Amino acid sequence: MKKIAVVLSGSGFLDGAEIQESVITMLALDRAGVSYQCMAPDMEQMHVVNHFTGDVAQGEQRNVLVEAARIARTQIIDIAEANPSDFDAVIFPGGYGAAKNLSNFAVKGSASEVQADVLQFARSFAATGKPMGFVCISPAMIPHIYGADAKLTIGSDADTAAAINEMGGIHINCPVDDFVVDEERNLVSTPAYMLDMRISEVATGIEKLVNKIIEMIHGK
């Protein structure tokens, strides 16, 4: 059976993984008969956000791996211990955690860096040529992983797209229910909640991304 790594960044879209995007990804994989392994870095979050008020919870701290276990129902591993050769593809759901914990794009924009364990795993996997999928804001990490000229989308936000292009990526505008493919790199991305859309429309785009990743695994 094929196995896909799902890289989470906490729990909750303002400071971790976008829960709906993460669950839609896992549901689409399971419905396709593909097993998956959730993983996350064992690190402290950049900060904790009160998802009721939208304010930073001053003085509070949480661990990315521990929080991501909420979504994974405890079936999760530290990404530092993950072996790229064990997986046929990797998918990164979105949420601000991808730009605050997996990277610091939310703070540094085009001068951002990817967290060391995440970068090592992602670059090692990319070197295999096997498919990788990125959802929502997580494509902002692609230039760090693949280098210049990788094709990707975060939807149509001009400022974010400009920062990605400055990093060496090639941003392509895309609607919520579609995806962008870089055939040379076996790389797929979809906007999801980077666009203010309904959950059903977000699900359509993510499901298409998942199906495309599975097609790539089978060489179609």
Name the nearest CA neighbour of 208 among 185, 177, 186.
Answer: 177
H-state helical runs in the chain: 19-31, 64-72, 97-100, 105-108, 116-126, 142-146, 158-166, 199-217
Could you give the CA distance from residue 23 to residue 7 in angstroms, rounded to a whole number? 12
Strands 89-92 and 132-135, how do they pair? parallel
Residues 6+ apart with CB under 8 A from 116: none
The catalytic site residues sit at: 136
Could you give the CA distance from residue 26 to residue 74 in angstroms, rounded to a whole number? 14
Is 9 in contact with 137 (CB distance < 8 Å)? no
